[in-house]
Amino acid sequence: MSAEDMEMKHRGSDQQNGSLTAKEPPGVETVQLKKRVGLFSGVALIVGTMIGSGIFVSPKGVLREVGGVGPSLLVWTGCGVISMMGALTYAELGTMIKESGGEYAYLFKAFGPIPAFLFQWTNVILLKPSSLSAIALSFAIYVGQPFYPACVVPDAVVKFLAAVCIVLVTSLNCISVKVAARIQVFFTAIKVLALGVIIGVGIYSLAIGNTLWLTPEKAFQTGHTITISDVGLAFYQGLWAYDGWNNLNFVTEEIQNPVRNLPLAIMISIPLVTLLYVLANVAYFSVMTPSELLASGAVAVTLGNRWLGVMKWIIPFSVACSTFGACNGTIFTSGRLCYTAARKGHMVEILSMIHVKLLTPSPALMFNSFIALIMIIPNDFDAIINYFSFAAWMFYGSTCLSHIVMRFTQPDAERPIRTPVIFPALVVIASLYLIVAPIISEPNLWYLYAAIFILAGLLFYFPFVYFGYHPPFMKYITMFLQLLMNVSPPTEAPK
């Protein structure tokens, strides 16, 4: 069954499900998500999600794994190259399949509904909310720290602030797409400026002669021999800081002139972030020695404390802004994944609805944030993220594979942008390595649990999607929620 058939079938079942369809309210022509994302906000959605807290803290993780300055810089550059190859692959996919939902839409087209369902199941229930709560928790630590100068911020305070952040950003996203897009641009500007300050300090420090650890002899002095699994773990750390490169593909339907703006935004954003990240690392290694960097809890803050004098508060303030903006970008796009999947009958119907006046996918946004709020509760879910980042790479790899497969299965499809096949092929190889290396070097039952979780999606797929069983009470719940939230299924756009 094709994607369109699936959507038609699902739409056709609206009546029998008993959901209420909007009579267009006065003053609003259609209940539709509008095209509000231009080139500028598109760049902000990518750059502003990629730059979260990673670049301000992860350099330590990369250095710890590879042991030297030179290899660290190579890993940071390599992460940028992998992200760029992935994003260029997604540029072809996004301009060929002009549907929102990112990987979900591409896997659906290339491999059919089951892989797409498993993707959205894993992402909606786990990956998206867990990355949202991880970023919100970093936000909370940086906001809370000034109030506890002499100790670590108490756990309860961190959790409370993280929850406030999620609720606030979700409310803004539910109220207006325009406001959410403006917030994204504003906070992206702040974080780019903050990295500019760090790089400026680095340039000054290099100019006055602090170049010891960047000289070839010192840079390649490593504390230990680097194994292949060290490289894999270092890439995981770096790639978390680059994660978000695929963000704009989740909202293709809302981009103005996507054939021009999607690839252009990708081609501006990823090289820009790579340049900023590599130069920020050069700055860190100019102002501190590798052992000082390893001893620092948050490397950017250490740099600020040493070099910015009375202005040192800029760094924690910027990290707080940076993480807030990354939360905004994450909610913006995760909501669209859930919404697109629900539109094809892969999620409960209410999640495919749009607020009739505000024209935002508010049920999907709230659902996503609700799960993220639950994920704040456990004490240490870092492990979950680690083990599941292997799941994330499985999906990036499969999506790049779908690019190659569709060149054969759909050779005549219109492709306004053609990305050389070598790029997706290299990302597939990189992702295979990222999936397999940690399992071999540190076999752990968690990987098995992660795989079981992904496959458990089938327990929902077969009864509710494939056989189309709808519990009779669902239509009452849907109607009740529709009236409560003032939402309706999207209507067709005027021709």
Q: How far is the CB of 90 from ligand ARG (least distance, A)?
A: 13
Q: Which residue has the tokens 């591409």?
A: 106
Residue (52 or 361) nearer to ligand ARG, CB: 52
> How far is residue 324's CA from residue 138's CA, in Å, rounded to a whole number?
9
**What is the per-residue binding string for ligand ARG in 223-262, x denoting contact by CB under 6 A?**
-----------------xx-xx------------------
Binding of residue 86 to ligand ARG (CB under 6 A): no
Q: Which of 42, 48, 52, 438 binds ligand ARG (CB under 6 A)?
A: 52
Nearer to ligand ARG, 67 or 102 (CB): 102
Q: Which pair of tokens denotes residue 292?
A: 């000082």
- 425 residue type, one letter: A
Q: Which residues, 6 or more positions from 123, have their beta carbon under 8 angstroms from its beta carbon?
A: 103, 104, 334, 337, 395
Out of 296, 330, 362, 398, the residue judged to bind ligand ARG by CB under 6 A: 330
Task: Kindly tell me which of 50 and 107 has the beta carbon lying closer to ligand ARG.
Answer: 50
Q: How far is the CB of 3 from ligand ARG (least distance, A)?
A: 24
- Is 328 a binding residue for ligand ARG by CB under 6 A? The answer is no
Cβ neighbours around 49 below 10 Å, total: 29
Q: Residue number with the shortest CB distance to ligand ARG?
A: 52
Q: Quick one: which of 295, 267, 247, 255 has its CA closest to 52?
A: 247
Give the count of alpha carbons within 13 A of 188, CB side only: 22
Q: Does 49 bind ligand ARG (CB under 6 A)?
A: yes
Burial class (CB in 10 A: 0-12, 13-18, 19+), 216: exposed
Comparing C-alpha atoms, which of 365, 174, 185 is closest to residue 265?
A: 185
Instruction: Find, among 61, 35, 408, the residue nearest to 234 by Cα.
Output: 61
For tokens 């609206």, what's the residue?
14
What's the min distance (Å) between Cβ of 119 and ligand ARG?
14
Of 43, 45, 50, 165, which lies in the binding site for ligand ARG, with binding defined by CB under 6 A? 50
The nearest distance, CB 260 to ligand ARG, in angstroms, is 24
- Residues in a beta bridge with 255: 37
User: At closest approach, how far in Å is the CB of 296 from ligand ARG?
Assistant: 17
326 sits near ligand ARG (criterion: CB under 6 A): yes
Residue 354, phi then psi, degrees to nearest 5: -125, 145
Query: Which residues within the stretch 123-182 sit at the binding site for ligand ARG (CB under 6 A)?
Result: 131, 135
Tokens read off for 372: 């993220």
Residues in contact with ligand ARG by CB under 6 A are 49-50, 52-54, 131, 135, 240-241, 243-244, 326, 330
